[in-house]
Amino acid sequence: MYDAIEDPYTYKSSTVLVNKLGLENQAELDAFEAEISNARAEEPLPDGILDFEHYKAIHHHLFQDVYQWAGRVRTVRISKGGNPFCFPENIKGQANRLFEDLRTVDHLRNLDAQTFSSKAAHFLAELNAIHAFREGNERSQLAFFTLLADFAGHPLKIEKLDPEEMLAAMIASFDGDEGRLAHIVRELTA
């Protein structure tokens, strides 16, 4: 659950996000969102050049059936566990810088496994800190990272992913420790 103040994304007097089905129960929305985004993840993801526009297109693809604002940068400040994510007025600039840095290093191609893991962990940590969307960041990050890893020549063995361990590593990276995340990336590409 995110912390947000005066959130136009939620139903009045509620923390449930406004959605296309009109579900006002969080458990029902969570189940619908998971089912639909998982089904969309099985479809081919949008083509693109691994930039911020491509990342937004992936979010739209995954959540287009759930939220009207799928693929659009959030407009409210949010935090999780009291830790604020990038302010909405800075998202576009920070994301464009991050994706330009990714382009500058040839999208992590031609790197040995250890270097790839370290640089990929840093990219994921920064992308998570930006948290471009009101909801669906983690699933969008994983879908985008799967494409990036394939492109870089380090395809992921996604069946090895432990979601709880990944979440713990992302939280640690938010606090500046990217080692745990790099280790997970290395395990997923080994």
Residue-range domain boundaries for the chain: 3-189
For 80, the 3-state DSSP assignment is strand
In degrees, rounded to 5, the angle at the alpha carbon of residue 180 between the alpha carbons of residues 178 and 182 is 65
Reply yes or no on whether the pLDDT at 3 is more than 80. no
Average pLDDT, the chain: 95
Task: Tell me the one-letter amino acid at 85.
Answer: F
The verdict on pTM exceeding 0.75 is yes
Percent of the chain surpassing pLDDT 70:
97
For the segment 69-128, what is each residue's pLDDT rounded down to a tens digit? 999 999 999 998 888 999 999 999 999 999 999 999 999 999 999 999 999 999 999 999
H or E, element range at 96:
helix 88-104
Task: Tell me the one-letter amino acid at 5.
Answer: I
At 139, the pLDDT band (50, 70, 90 cuts) reads very high
Residue-level pLDDT at 5: 58
Tell me the mean pLDDT in the region 2-25: 88
Q: Which CATH superfamily is domain 3-189 in?
A: Fido-like domain (1.10.3290.10)
For the segment 144-170, what is each residue's pLDDT rounded down to a tens digit? 999 999 999 999 999 999 999 999 999
